[in-house]
Amino acid sequence: MVSEHSAVIFSKVSRYFGDVKAVDSVDMNIRSGEFFTMLGPSGSGKTTCLRLIAGFDRPTFGKIILYGQDVSNLPPYERDVNTVFQDYALFPHMTVGENIAYGLMIKKVSKQERERRVNEMLDLVQLSGMASRKPNQLSGGQRQRVALARALINNPKVLLLDEPLGALDLKLRQQMQVELKALQKRVGITFIFVTHDQEEALTMSDRIAVFNQGKIEQIGTPAEIYEHPATSFAAGFVGVSNFVHGELAKRLTGSEATFSIRPEKIHLANPNEKEATGMIVIEGRVRDVIYLGLYTRYLIEVEGGGDLVVVEQNLKTTSMDVLTQKGQRVRLSWKKEHMRQISG
Ligand code: ATP
């Protein structure tokens, strides 16, 4: 399992707090140079995993390997990692330049060298010319960049990021997602990112680990997790999913297993419209219509019980068109291969 391409390996790592299994026998192998995201709801164990990698906390059981070295019992300062927190933790009385240079000062790097590296970092995070400002003279996005520059100046092997964009408004957050990903590609450092926001995880990550109750439900690329969710939790947490099981599953597929089907894979048509062959077809009634500008979300009550969510882009339809569909009978169809069998 150990390879020179592994940045961090968790081998059966657990962290218990009394009766709470915050992290429960987790195995993962984070590759060197990748953008790896730990995604999950509040309390699923992501931050505890990050703290275990940083050395702020120790595992109850199991082993953590950092670039080939067992660091399970090493203090934080003996690990080649740095952390960026959600609240940035900048020193308010220091200038931007002094904040960024802090790690080098501790290491007693010469003033000249410090200035050179600070300027390099300011360029990297697009804050050139702002070295003498104080943190309270910066916007949220700029403060976030200072925190990044401060964490990157020591050139750590691994950068840990705990919900670093959580305090930003949506527009800025989306802009920083793209910037952060581009920055990571430029510096080539392994980024381990914690978020509960599935869209953020899909946008930025090379691979995602989906956490639930201290365990990993699935590890994969964004496309793998979205298109082939391994469990019902992964299917429901990453994007929206419909679940088909029991009688209906049997009628449609011949099997009583549980299947997931994404809302955008379902085609909504008039009951008289002819379907292409090889499609799964089912009839239903439009129970609710939610017009969302770019697309419309329909809630369809299907024959045989249950509701399915369907989304369609408003390419030709207006809000008036879609709202008149409420209560109408419709035909739903989708390709067989878009129904994914899932476990649990
Ligand atoms: P969030 O997104 O809310 O930060 P998380 O996925 O990062 O959540 P953790 O902070 O890792 O979750 O917490 C996992 C579980 O461990 C939670 O039930 C939490 O209450 C518990 N926990 C974490 N730290 C401690 C602690 N120091 N003492 C007791 N319980 C803790």
Whether 196 and 288 map to the same domain: the answer is no
Task: Please tell me the pTM assigned to this model.
Answer: 0.87
Instruction: Indicate whether residue 91 lines ligand 1 (CB < 6 A).
Output: no
* C-alpha 22 to ligand 1 mean position (Å): 6
Q: Which residue has a Cα nearest atom 31 of ligand 1?
A: 17
> Would residue 51 count as lying in a domain?
yes
151 occurs within a structural domain: yes
The span from the CA of 101 to the CA of 107, in Å, is 10
Q: What is the mean pLDDT of each run of 10 residues along the chain (344 residues)?
A: 76 97 97 97 96 96 96 93 84 94 90 92 89 91 90 92 85 87 92 94 96 97 93 90 88 88 90 75 92 91 87 85 86 90 79
Same domain, 292 and 210: no
131 shares a domain with 44: yes
Q: Which residue has its alpha carbon closest to ligand 1 atom 19?
A: 43
CA-214 nearest atom, ligand 1: 14
The DSSP 8-state label assigned to residue 274 in this structure reads P
- The beta-strand segments (E) located in the chain are 6-17, 20-31, 35-39, 61-66, 69-70, 81-84, 158-162, 190-195, 207-212, 215-220, 242-244, 258-261, 267-269, 279-291, 295-302, 307-313, 329-335, 340-342
- Ligand 1 center from residue 237 Cα (angstroms): 19
The alpha carbon of 60 and the centre of ligand 1 are apart by a number of angstroms equal to 15
282 and 166 co-located in one domain: no
CA of 23 to the centre of ligand 1 (A): 9
Residue 91 forms part of a structural domain: yes
48 lines ligand 1 (CB under 6 A): yes
Instruction: Answer yes or no: is 104 within a domain.
Output: yes
User: Which of 237, 252, 284 is the last residue before a domain boundary?
Assistant: 237
Same domain, 25 and 80: yes
247 in a structural domain: no
Question: Which residues, in sequence order, are CB contacts of 15 under 8 Å at separation 6+?
Answer: 21, 22, 23, 45, 48, 52, 57, 58, 59, 60
Q: Which of 179, 24, 13, 160 is nearest to 84 (CA)?
A: 160
Domain of residue 100 covers 6-237
The C-alpha atoms of residue 10 and residue 333 are separated, in whole angstroms, by 43
Q: Are residues 161 and 307 in the same domain?
A: no
- Shared-domain flag, residues 38 and 176: yes
Q: Which residues contact 287 (CB under 8 A, 6 or more apart)?
A: 299, 300, 301, 307, 326
pLDDT at 315: 85
Q: Are residues 268 and 326 in the same domain?
A: yes
State how far the alpha carbon of 293 is from the alpha carbons of 174, 180, 250, 267, 332, in Å.
19, 29, 36, 19, 22
Same-domain status, 231 and 283: no
CATH number where 77 lies: 3.40.50.300
- pLDDT at 344 (0 to 100): 63
Q: Is the CB of 44 under 6 A from ligand 1?
A: yes
Check whether residue 27 and residue 148 sit in a common domain.
Answer: yes
| Boundary (domain end) residue, out of 197, 222, 237 | 237
pLDDT at 1: 43
Instruction: Please name the helix (run of DSSP H) or strand (run of DSSP E) that holds residue 323, with its range, or none.
Output: helix 319-323
Would you say 198 and 311 are in contact if contact means Cβ atoms under 8 Å apart? no
Q: How many domains does the chain have?
A: 2
Task: Give which of 216, 205, 209, 180 is closest to 38, Cα–Cα.
Answer: 209
**Measuring from atom 28 of ligand 1, which residue has the nearest CA?**
17
Question: Which pLDDT belongs to residue 278?
Answer: 76
DSSP 133-145: --GGGS-HHHHHH
Q: Which of 157, 164, 153, 85 is nearest to 124 (CA)?
A: 153
Residue 166 CB–ligand 1 contact under 6 Å:
no
Give dist(CA 341, CA 250) in Å, integer: 12
* Distance from the alpha carbon of residue 108 to the mean position of ligand 1, in angstroms: 36
Residue 250 in domain: no
> Residue 162: CB within 6 Å of ligand 1?
no
How far does the centroid of ligand 1 lie from the alpha carbon of residue 136, in Å?
30
Say if 242 falls within a structural domain. Answer: no
The shares of helix, strand and coil residues in the chain, as percent rounded to the nearest 5, are: 30, 35, 35
CB of 196 within 6 A of ligand 1: the answer is yes
CATH number assigned to the domain comprising residue 302: 2.40.50.100
Q: Is 286 in the same domain as 187?
A: no
Does 277 contact ligand 1 (Cβ within 6 A)?
Answer: no
Q: Assess if residue 21 is contained within a domain.
A: yes
Residues 166 and 284 in one domain: no
Q: Which of 203, 237, 271 is the last residue of a domain?
A: 237
